[in-house]
Amino acid sequence: MKKHLLILSFLIVLLGCKNEITPSSEEKRDAIKQNEFAIIIHGGAGTILKKNMSDEKEAEYKAKLEEAIKVGYAILNNGGTSQDAVLKTIQVMEESPLFNAGKGAVFTHEETNELDASFMDGKTLNAGAVAGVTNVKSPIELAIKIMTDSDHVMLSGKGASVFAKDKGLEIVDPSYFYTENRFKSLQRIKASAKTELNRDDKKAAFYDADIKNSKFGTVGCVALDKNGNISAGTSTGGMTNKRWGRIGDAPIIGSGTYANNKTCGVSSTGWGEYFIRGQVAYDISAQMEYQQKTLKEATSDVIQNKLTKLGGTGGVVALDKNGNMSFEFNTAGMYRASMNDKGDLVVKIYKE
């Protein structure tokens, strides 16, 4: 009898061991610290095709992406905070006319520039955002200042400008944001909306590209510092020809930007209305937290499955608590770059 009980006990233990949930090899890899610190950026997603890009313009974009990310990398490598790295990196892109943020912001229907930005701290879940400002040189700096120096998360329009001035941020004449290229894009879109032109294929493609890309060009950055803190930020001029004070996803926490030290940081770019409806940035974090998905699994599901089914286009850059990085987009291209703690640099534009 004792012998039978002993055998039965052994079988119960054996069956119990077999029923234990064993993590996949991918989950095991994801649990390992990949990078002590890392940084990842985007400069917008859309119909970016090599056949439409000159060698000179491609080199210009790649050089600016490299310049921007190296600024953030140097801060992280020297023990600086992810907040500072995100701020300084995005400011490089805000000051470049190449991107739809800051100096290169697109024009509204009324031929003005209205700027949006947001920032989130993964350690505290504190956040700041700004929408519709016209005279603040660095919207991302204003978003961070709203987070650190006010009781609010989002300010907009004239009130946000007053706050920026009170806090000593640089105020510029709205003409600072004027660029001939962006202004001409607005005029082409207005013209194409009014008149059905007799166009040859080349000219038609030129107009169509303007319309398709009128929703894209946002810049963003996610960084993980040596203390394990994640920060994410996003800055944009919004959509060309936007009207009625339209606000997209970039200043919406959970849509355009999200950061949580428990999971990841995310910055989005694309057709903002769909990113808002899908709460894209937060959904990636939620899938990691509640479904134990890896960063790659979560970003792929949200962008390639859920966003695409909604009809949305665009992408994200994301970075998890272990230093894993993900570029995910459902468009023809996305200006993007990353650097890990070893200094390995990746700069890409097209889908590969």
Please list the active-site residues. 218
How buried is 124 (Cβ within 10 angstroms: 0-12 exposed, 13-18 middle, 19+ buried)? exposed
Output the CA–CA distances (angstroms, integers) from residue 333 to 45, 55, 327, 352, in the order listed.
6, 16, 11, 9
The one-letter code for the residue type at 213 is N
User: Hey, what amino acid is at 72?
Assistant: G
> CA 95 to CA 74: how far, in whole Å?
19
- Name the pairing type of β-strands 127-133 and 154-156: parallel
Tokens standing for 305?
A: 């499955």
Q: How many other C-beta atoms are found inside a 10 Å radius of the C-beta of residue 348?
A: 15
N-term to C-term CA, the chain: 67
| CA-based nearest residue to 139, from 83, 96, 101, 112 | 101
What DSSP state is assigned to residue 60? H
